[in-house]
Amino acid sequence: MSTWEVALLRRFGYNWKAATPNIDRLRMEGTEADPGMIPVFPSKTFPNHYSIATGLYPAYHGIVGNYFRDPNPGSNDTFKPGELDPKWWLGEPIWETVVNQGLQAATYFWPGSQVKKGNWTCESRFCQDYNSSVPYEDRVDTVLGYLDLPSRERPSLITLYFESPDEPGHETGPDAPQITAAVVRIDTMIGRLLAGLEKRGLDKDVTIILVGDHGMVGKSEDKMIYLEDLASEVLIPREWVMDYTPVLHIRPPPNLDVTTIHSSMARALTSSNMNNAEFLEIYLKEQLPPRLHYSHSPRIAPIVGLVAEGYTLAYARTDKPITCGGEHGYDNVLLSMRTIFIARGPQFAQGRRIPSFENVELYEIMANILGLTPAPNNASLNFAASVLLPLRS
């Protein structure tokens, strides 16, 4: 039996704004999380892709944001998209688990999959260098080509990544006509994939898992918060700020008292000098809500700020920040941050709806389907067994 996981990025709810016959077919023939799958916090691209791959919260797999600095003394290293040094990428992603246990894996642009660690060498045949200009049709056809290989060479796991509709969502916001067009395009690619499986007689054997990494919410000019407004109580130099929005990371020099700075910031939020102050919450990282699982990493700055849904944080008005379009990264409890989970295959019941769950559960689900022993992870005990049907002999 071939087993295949396909991950396609898409905001939860977009499919209802356009005709999506192929996604609808997967929904009818498989299992869906309703209302959507819950991302990990922060609901950003890189932390969530790697949580899906490892089953770990960001504090444990190390990718705590799309951008962050190495906190080790004397280091000026910064993590950013495209960083392939394995020192950043902790835990064991599913493709590494697959090859560790004697099977083949193929990854098409999945964030983190180009990192060579353990027994995963990112073999060029099965590991594509990221190139956003590659047409979506070519991506699907390459994946289908893997399934034409002899059974001993065929990957047991394949991941596939599309940028849409996230990219246009940032430019236009989640409700623009461009998003509808992007969703139709993704649905067409899913149709191409399904047709290719049927042509090969594999549609009953292959498991497809369709997921996104986060949702999206619109921004507006009247929902701005500026750090310069804290100056009546405390001055926060730019060099202390590791990231701005919608999760603020502040790392003061080690010779300063973090608690005192936090108290001054909290006091400034109660003053009349700060615009939209009630929509920013400032925490010492160890005092963040435990449900966020976002305290136990030195890569997380000692002071963390959370802005309310749809709000944008910038340093100064003279920075002229972008105040339109769409954003994500907010509290993962928000419905607007949820995304899609639809799975079809021999171990998923047809037409079933299951309650929302966090994406750290996916690693165990994939390992279970593939018959693998999972690496340590943050999945709930027995969750995968509650979702999957017994495998029929």
Q: Is residue 302 domain-shared with residue 196, that is, in the same domain?
A: no
Q: Is residue 369 domain-shared with residue 305, that is, in the same domain?
A: no
| Domain-located, residue 393 | no
Q: Is residue 178 domain-shared with residue 269, that is, in the same domain?
A: no
Q: Is residue 97 domain-shared with residue 198, that is, in the same domain?
A: yes
Q: Which domain does 314 fall in, by range?
A: 221-323
Which of 30-34, 272-276, 319-323, 367-371 is least confident? 319-323
Helix or strand holding residue 225 (H, E): strand 224-226
Peptide bond into 35 cis (omega under 30): yes
Out of 295, 323, 351, a domain closes at: 323
Give CA angle at 31 (188, 376), nearest 5°.
Answer: 105
Q: Is residue 59 domain-shared with residue 104, that is, in the same domain?
A: yes
CB proximity list for 95: less than 8 A, separation 6 or greater: 53, 105, 107, 110, 113, 120, 157, 159
| Domain-located, residue 299 | yes
Q: Please, is 355 exposed, middle or buried when counting C-beta atoms within 10 Å of its C-beta (0-12, 13-18, 19+)?
A: exposed
Q: What is the pLDDT of residues 141-190, one digit of tens each?
A: 999 999 999 989 999 999 999 988 777 777 778 878 888 888 899 999 99
| Domain-located, residue 14 | yes
Greater model confidence, 332 or 169: 332
| Domain-located, residue 170 | yes
Q: How far apart are CA 107 and CA 130, in angstroms?
A: 10
270 carries an active-site annotation: no
Given this model, what pLDDT does residue 7 score? 46
Q: How far apart are CA 339 and CA 359, in angstroms?
A: 10
Given this model, what pLDDT does residue 166 score? 72
pLDDT at 213 over 80: yes
Q: How far apart are CA 105 and CA 114, in angstroms?
A: 12
CB proximity list for 275: less than 8 A, separation 6 or greater: 224, 225, 226, 229
Out of 298, 323, 348, a domain closes at: 323
pLDDT at 3 over 50: no
Given this model, what pLDDT does residue 1 score? 37
> How many domains, the chain?
2
Q: Is residue 208 domain-shared with residue 254, that is, in the same domain?
A: no
Q: Is residue 46 domain-shared with residue 120, that is, in the same domain?
A: yes
| Domain-located, residue 82 | yes
Percent of the chain exceeding pLDDT 90 equals 81
Are 6 and 192 in contact by the 8 Å Cβ rule? The answer is no
Q: How far apart are CA 265 and CA 143, in angstroms?
A: 51
- Tell me the CATH number at 246: 3.30.1360.180
Q: What is the pLDDT of residues 86-123, one digit of tens each?
A: 999 999 999 999 999 999 999 999 999 999 999 999 99
Name the residue among 97, 1, 51 with its Cα closest to residue 367: 97
Which of 1-15, 197-211, 213-227 is least confident? 1-15
Question: How many residues appear in the chain?
Answer: 393
Q: Is residue 213 domain-shared with residue 227, that is, in the same domain?
A: no
Out of 300, 323, 346, a domain closes at: 323
Given this model, what pLDDT does residue 16 score? 56
Q: Is residue 262 domain-shared with residue 207, that is, in the same domain?
A: no
Q: Is residue 242 domain-shared with residue 308, that is, in the same domain?
A: yes
Given this model, what pLDDT does residue 393 score? 60
Mean of the pLDDT values across residues 285-299? 98
User: Which listed residue (3, 20, 31, 45) is catalytic?
Assistant: 45
Name the residue among 118, 141, 132 with its Cα closest to residue 162: 132
- Tell me the CATH number at 360: 3.40.720.10
Confidence of residue 58 (pLDDT cuts 50, 70, 90): very high
Q: How far apart are CA 114 and CA 108, in angstroms?
A: 9
Tell me the pLDDT of the chain averaged across its residues: 92
| Domain-located, residue 392 | no
Confidence of residue 10 (pLDDT cuts 50, 70, 90): very low
Given this model, what pLDDT does residue 52 score? 97
